[in-house]
Amino acid sequence: MRLKTTAALTATTALGAAAAAAAAGRYAADAALRPTRARRGRPPVPAGFADPPLTVHSFTLWSPGADGDPAPDDAHHSGDIALTRSLTARLPGTYGLYGRGCHAVVGPEPADPPDDAAVDTTVRRLERVTYGDLRPGAKVRLTPLVHVGDPREALGIDHVDVDVPGETGTLPGWFVPGRRDTWVIAVHGLGTTVEQALNVLPFLHGQQLPVLALAYRGDSGAPRPANGVGHLGDTEWRDVDAALRYAVRYGADRVVLYGWSTGAYMALRAAAESPLRQHVSGLVLDSPVLDRRATLRALAAARGTPRALLPLAVRAAEGRVALRADGELPTGGGPDAPHGPARPTVPTLVVHGPDDTVAPWEHSRELARRHPHLVSFHGVPDARHAAMWNVDPAAYEEVLRRFLTSVM
């Protein structure tokens, strides 16, 4: 009797532990797939930028005086800022810097840092303070989102707020007119918002390209996704299809689909499966998510999931993602595995870097290797996920210019 009781208690304990682990996995999965809903003053945390906050140690703001020398002025002129020394603080390029109730823009480290800079700090150029009160002691994060607001308030570019009819409801977006008949549909990625398109909008606007920046299901102002969680592009791509229908309806002859992260996956799917895919003349894929199992694991880890629970979290997330009828869900086999994403059917520019911990770049390189006549690959070292532009905006835009010239 005692042996039977012990066996029963052991089995019950094992079942309880398994149930608890499964519940923890589901919780971690929901956290990984939760859509981004930003509020002013509390911007989202983009995938790949969930590092511990940095501390502002000091900063200086100035503008040229009448004699050309720096002179103190308000918080809308360049200067220097000293941040907690870390690998994140030393990322090369230009980034947004946000804290509670404030947003600024920082450039690279100056060639000649101030002589009085503390050894435990990193000094960067402080380009401007967009809004709020930046103070010593403030906790801040770097973000690839350099601009905040809509195109008019952030960049002085006129736009129209549009409503795109989608299968789950109305999708808000920004339309920036241009003289060409080739439109660009811009689709943001993980942990960001439609504001991600603002980084490249001045360049695209300068090329006279009409731009439709889309907010899709799960975004603020857009319909909620099924089950209340994101699906890593598996259902969201149909919102890109809706934007393509909208563009063609309003005069687009050709369309370039431009996506970051999961937005790149969505663009790839739409170019292959949309009934209007004949209008897609090109794809721009920045840090594309081509192995969603690896991305699920990275997202769960970034949300604090213990290493032992990561496999459970990934399996739970796969169960939460609405699969296609044929069961399509990439499981690590690469871009051309039987259950991988669609192959490119039009000229495609892929921009990716080896330091991306969210979407492994090996799959992007393999995509280019397998389709050399369609896919151009541009590697960017020292770039985090979906922050290829930030490292060197001028170089990025030159690569983009050459590609767009060939597909307009």
User: Quick one: which of 51, 115, 114, 56 has its CA closest to 84?
Assistant: 56
Query: What was the pLDDT predicted at 12?
Result: 45
What is each CA distance from 229 to 37, 108, 123, 279, in whole angstroms? 12, 36, 39, 31
Q: Strand, helix or coil at 97?
A: strand
Give the length of the chain.
Answer: 408
Residue 306: pLDDT band with limits 50, 70, 90: confident
Query: What was the pLDDT predicted at 34?
Result: 63
The answer to whether 140 and 56 are in contact (CB under 8 A) is: yes
**Where is average pLDDT lowest: 1-15, 55-69, 346-360?**
1-15
Q: Which residues on adjacent β-strands are paired with residue 295?
A: none
Contacts 24+ apart (CB under 8 A), 365-368: 366/334, 366/335, 366/336, 367/290, 367/335, 367/336
Of 285 and 8, the structure prediction assigns the larger pLDDT to: 285
Query: What was the pLDDT predicted at 149?
Result: 93
pLDDT at 328 over 50: no
Residue 322: pLDDT band with limits 50, 70, 90: very low
Query: What was the pLDDT predicted at 389?
Result: 98
Residue 327: pLDDT band with limits 50, 70, 90: very low
What are the pLDDT digits (tens) for 155-166?
999 999 999 999
pTM of the full structure = 0.86
Of 75 and 353, the structure prediction assigns the larger pLDDT to: 353
Query: What was the pLDDT predicted at 38?
Result: 55
What is each CA distance from 22 to 52, 140, 158, 178, in whole angstroms? 28, 35, 50, 51
Query: What was the pLDDT predicted at 338?
Result: 39
Cα 136 from chain centroid? 29
Q: Which residues on adjacent β-strands are paired with residue 96?
A: 105, 143
What are the pLDDT digits (tens) for 179-208?
999 999 999 999 899 999 999 999 999 999
Query: What was the pLDDT predicted at 151?
Result: 98
**CA–CA separation, 402 vs 408, rounded Å?**
11
Query: What was the pLDDT predicted at 40?
Result: 54
Q: DSSP letter string over 232-293?
A: TTTTTHHHHHHHHHHHHHTT-SEEEEEEETHHHHHHHHHHHH-TTGGGEEEEEEES----HH
Residue 15: pLDDT band with limits 50, 70, 90: very low
Amino acid at 31: A
Query: What was the pLDDT predicted at 294?
Result: 87
Range list of H helices, 99-150:
none
H-run or E-run covering 7 = helix 2-33
- Give the pLDDT mean for 68-95: 77
- Give the pLDDT mean for 353-362: 95
Range list of H helices, 34-176:
151-155
